[in-house]
Amino acid sequence: MLMKLLSGDRPASPVLTVLLLVILIGLAFAPFLFPGSKPLETAARICIFIVLVASYDLLIGYTGIVSFAHTMFFGLGAYGTALGLTLGGASFAAAGLGALCGVGLAALLALAIGLFSLRVKAIFFAMVTLAIASAFAVLVSQLSFLTGGEDGLNYKIPRELTPAFKLFAEPVLGLRIDGKVLSYYLVFGVALALFLALVRIVNSPFGRVLKAVRDNGFRAEAIGYKAVHYRTAATVLSAMMAAMAGVLLALWLRYTGPATTLSMEIMVDILLMVVIGGMGTMYGAVIGATLFILAQTYLQALMGLAEGATAGIPLLSALVAPDRWLLWLGVLFVLSVYFFPTGIVGRLRAGKAGAA
């Protein structure tokens, strides 16, 4: 039963299994285990980013193509939902319709980009997506009558998902089950389902062909698989998944703006998560996203302490300032591409194989 859910893709390392279980349990019972609003925000962000990073891994890890437009698809889903809720009022129907438009548009755009630029070479695709994604971000911030420009959109979500809504009169296990908790479980449930769907996709015959195209496109063509078709299909699928992650973000935050969805910083974050976690395994996305967001939330406080401790030394204290944490992640990123190209998950699995 469990193997069926995971599509036969075992974590294949005891440490990894334990880590994944800890993350799963931590996320599943987050509202009960870690009371307060900040941990809940962090947990929801982790859920959303696991889907986002896993969908990106489908592209970079399994198909071997680098796209810089992933945040654009993420943003399309988020803005679709946000516009649905803004224009149609706070109902599930409006949110659903908006989400559908966003995801559909993301799929169409991915299809168009894929068809006209995946024929040439991977590097070309990376450049084209970078250009298109930045143009899209600029367009969104310019069309302020529709998207709210740089300020973004604030909107109401259906009442059942707001803190004002109480599911039960009595608290359960010491926790009042309000709309916020419901909303969290909506995010968690959908994220889990999407993640399992992605695991299913990469372990299907289709996923096998993707890997073949990644490892040797020429050979895959020779056996009779059209590389362009498979690459484009992977692009469209991953774009749709990213857009759905965007829908979740829009529902959770009750706000959609360029900084939370479209910015280059988010794209860099995704890249870091996927590489540090491990490319080419869906579990890498889980580990990468969790570690990264925990670090983002809590490491900066630690660096603040380090800055205080080294306040006397001019350059060093500037280097460990909390704002500079991206510097250290960048260094970690480059080092991990060189020395651990398979990321944390790859290391854990290799360690096991070496011991056996």
Partner 1 sequence: MSETLIRPRIEARPLGERLAEKLPLLLVPLLMLGGLIVTGSPSTWATLTVAGLAMGLMIFIMASGLTLVFGLMDIINFGHGAFVAVGAFIGFTVLTWLSGWTGHPSVLMNLAAMLIAVTVTMLATGLIGYGFEKVIIKPVYGQHLKQILVTMGGMIIAQQLIHVVWGPDALHLSRPLALQGSWVIGDAAIEKYRIVAVGVGLALFVAMRHVLKHTKVGLLVRAGVENGEMVEALGYRIRRLFLVVFMVGSALAGLGGVMWGLYQETITAHMGSEIMVLVFIVVIIGGLGSVEGCFIGALLVGLLANYTAFAAPKVALVSTIGLMVVVLMWRPQGLYPVVKAK
Residues lying near partner 1 in the complex (CB under 8 A) are found at 60, 64, 66, 116-117, 119-124, 126-128, 130-132, 134-135, 138-139, 142-143, 264, 268, 271, 275, 315, 318-319, 323-324, 326-327, 329-331, 333-334, 337-338, 341
**Among the listed residues 293, 267, 289, the one whose alpha carbon sits nearest the alpha carbon of residue 276:** 289
Give me the least distance between CB of 302 and partner 1, in Å please: 17
Q: Burial level of 59, CB count in 10 A (0-12/13-18/19+)?
A: buried
Give me the least distance between CB of 316 and partner 1, in Å please: 10
Between residues 116 and 298, which has the closer beta carbon with respect to partner 1? 116
Which DSSP string corresponds to 272-293?
HHHHHH-TT-HHHHHHHHHHHH
For residues 249 and 74, the answer to whether their CB atoms sit within 8 Å is yes
Between residues 64 and 158, which has the closer beta carbon with respect to partner 1? 64
Between residues 54 and 140, which has the closer beta carbon with respect to partner 1? 140
Between residues 185 and 333, which has the closer beta carbon with respect to partner 1? 333
Between residues 90 and 319, which has the closer beta carbon with respect to partner 1? 319
**Among the listed residues 48, 67, 2, 33, the one whose alpha carbon sits nearest the alpha carbon of residue 248:** 48
Give me the least distance between CB of 321 and partner 1, in Å please: 8
From CA 63, how far away is CA 227, in angstroms rounded? 10
Q: ∠ at Cα 325 (37, 261), nearest 5°?
A: 55
Can you tell me whether residue 316 is helix, strand or coil?
helix
Q: ∠ at Cα 350 (289, 237), nearest 5°?
A: 40
Give me the least distance between CB of 115 and partner 1, in Å please: 11
Give me the least distance between CB of 214 and partner 1, in Å please: 9
Give me the least distance between CB of 304 and partner 1, in Å please: 16
Give me the least distance between CB of 271 and partner 1, in Å please: 7
Between residues 255 and 333, which has the closer beta carbon with respect to partner 1? 333
Between residues 306 and 326, which has the closer beta carbon with respect to partner 1? 326
For residues 351 and 13, the answer to whether their CB atoms sit within 8 Å is yes
**Among the listed residues 124, 250, 233, 252, the one whose alpha carbon sits nearest the alpha carbon of residue 188:** 252
